[in-house]
A and B are shown apart, each in its own frame.
Chain A
Amino acid sequence: MRRLAPWLLFSALFLGVGLLAEQSWRRVRLGLPEIGRRQLEPTVGQGVLLGVLGGFRTVVADFTWIRSYVLWEKKTDRAGTELLMRAACALDPRSRFFWENAGLTIANDMGHWEIRRRGGYAKVPKDIQDHVLRGYARRGLDLMDEGVASTGGNAALLASAALVAELQLKDLALSADYYRRSAEARHAPWFAARFAAANLWKEGRRREAYDWYRAHWLKTLRLEEDGAPDDLKELRDMEQELRLPLLARLPLQPWEVAQPGLSTKPGDNVTTKPPVGGQSRK
């Protein structure tokens, strides 16, 4: 027992220090980007984990991305490309670039690779093609959702997710939801609010589209340096098409009167042309 006593004492000492370190780690981990253990496990043996150990997370993430890009150019190794792209995301989960490009690659490209692998567009029936393309679009969108959570709701990433939902999944409601979240996030792209309203409008939820767009304009867009006149024009068009009574419309802004052609009177026809090259309600 006397021989064991020092070892028991040291074990107790290290357990005590370990408890102190646990308290410290609980605080530290809140400030550190979490590494996705599951994403990194398949890359063991490829230098990725060693990079994490050595502290070069950003650098290893960049080189992992370059390796995934080499595979992407070959367009044949779907699993390898996705694995490395996910590893880059896991290594640096706060970087929008990795999440956005990995999600877009999976959603836009990989379905086509899969169809080619199965014999090409002439051989694979159309409904199977659609099923495959939608499956990969969903998969890409899921990855982007992870990215949105990891980056704290990055506005540009949300806008990219909205694009995938609209163009690949043909889901306007989902797309509108992503655009809405993007518009409400920090550093929102200028088009996010308009596209959110436009997609809701095209879905047939016209009144909802107007109400949200109006509330967003009053709360956020109106406070911008130029007062977001293009968005106000769009809102005026909506008011016309919804045939809202004068009192239910947005109050006339002082600067609208000063700019001829901007304000629309209740009886006028719609004056705003659909924006060229952008997304329109029409």
Chain B
Amino acid sequence: MNAAFARCLWIARLTFLEAIRQRFFAFLFLLGAVLVLSSGAVRAFDFGHSELKFIADFGFGGLFLFGSILGVVMTAQLFFAEIDNRTALTLLAKPLGRGEFLVGKFLGTWAVLGVFVAVLAALLAVMMGARAAELAELAVERRLPPPECDLLGLAVAALLQWLRLGVVVALVLTVAAAARTFLFAVVVGALAVLAGQLQWLSQELLLKPAEAGLGRAVLWVLTHLLPNLQQFNLGDVLVLAPTQVPAGTLPWVFASGLAYIAAFLACAAFLFRRREI
């Protein structure tokens, strides 16, 4: 068990080093950082929200958008690079299981996304912390209550974003394990992420009372097969109004995210085992 885990970590380390050197990663990383840092300047376009809410939404939006692009493209690229360059054959000729190879790939890519999320979240925390301090001073002058800005909540929100990206990576690996080409994996992976982002619409339909029927049964099955990626979207609530998050919510979200990752990785391993390289 320990040896298998060590082998997974070894693949993860290689994947991490390979990914972090990619120009694509550096480009999106820079773009995300610029977006977060520019949120203060763009707030002139804001109407009717608190400044902190605008900055938080801007930052979390950038984190998810660029993180998702990275998660879909980088995962498929790193996987197909091994297949196309035939390095996967060399690796799998050694005492390394296909499942271990996939888990290693997942951990490496997820770790890179962890760096991405951590740095961007830190930048967002600096932006929000600085502005919250300024606003608190103004509030004291005007005898108003200071705005709420929970940086611990921001750390939890960043963890949730990382978990969401983990689900995205595991989902794309499942697609890539069955796909023949990089392009197919990227397109189908991106569409699956899109469907996951919209899945809450069908979930909402199911939660409303309606007559049972074949259509509803099909909707139920499809809804439960697709991952719900909106459930990780608690960023601005956790930072600006942590009391609005119902008690006991976060353990459910973390459990659900980890369960999705495990299920997708199991499916990916099964598909990869049947695949001819």
Contact = CB atoms under 8 A, between A and B. Distances in A.
A7 B124 CA distance: 43
Given A26-B207, A32-B234, A92 B49 contact: yes
Given A28-B249, A31-B249, A97 B48 contact: yes
B244 interface: yes
A43 to B, nearest CB: 15
B263 interface: yes
B225 A62 contact: no
Contact of B231 (A11, A19, A25, A66): A25
Interface residues of A, number: 40
A22 B245 CA distance: 17
B106 interface: no
B140 interface: no
Contact of A14 (B61, B225, B237): B225
A213 interface: no
A201 interface: no
B244 A31 contact: yes
Contact of A56 (B58, B234, B244, B267): B58
A275 interface: no
A13 interface: yes
A27 B255 CA distance: 13
A257 interface: no
Given A24-B231, A97-B48, A58 B207 contact: no
B221 A57 contact: no
B197 A53 contact: yes
B266 interface: yes
Contact of B234 (A19, A28, A62, A92): A28
Nearest to B193: A53
Contacts of B138: none
A31 to B, nearest CB: 5
A37 B47 CA distance: 22
Contact of B46 (A10, A37, A55, A58): A58
Nearest to A53: B197
Nearest to B174: A10
Contacts of A22: 203, 206, 223-224, 228
Given A21-B256, A28-B231, A31-B237, A10 B270 contact: yes
A60 to B, nearest CB: 9
B256 A17 contact: yes
A13 B263 contact: yes
Contacts of A27: 246, 248-249, 252-253
Nearest to B270: A6
A21 B228 contact: yes
A92 B53 CA distance: 11
B48 A98 contact: yes
B108 interface: no
28 contacts: A6-B270, A13-B266, A14-B225, A17-B224, A19-B224, A21-B227, A22-B223, A22-B224, A22-B228, A23-B256, A24-B253, A25-B231, A28-B233, A29-B200, A29-B204, A32-B234, A53-B198, A54-B61, A55-B61, A55-B233, A57-B57, A58-B46, A58-B54, A59-B58, A59-B61, A62-B45, A63-B45, A97-B48
Interface of A: 6, 10-11, 13-32, 37, 53-59, 62-63, 65-66, 92, 95-98
Given A19-B224, A28-B234, A53-B194, 5 more contacts: A13-B267, A25-B228, A28-B249, A57-B57, A59-B42
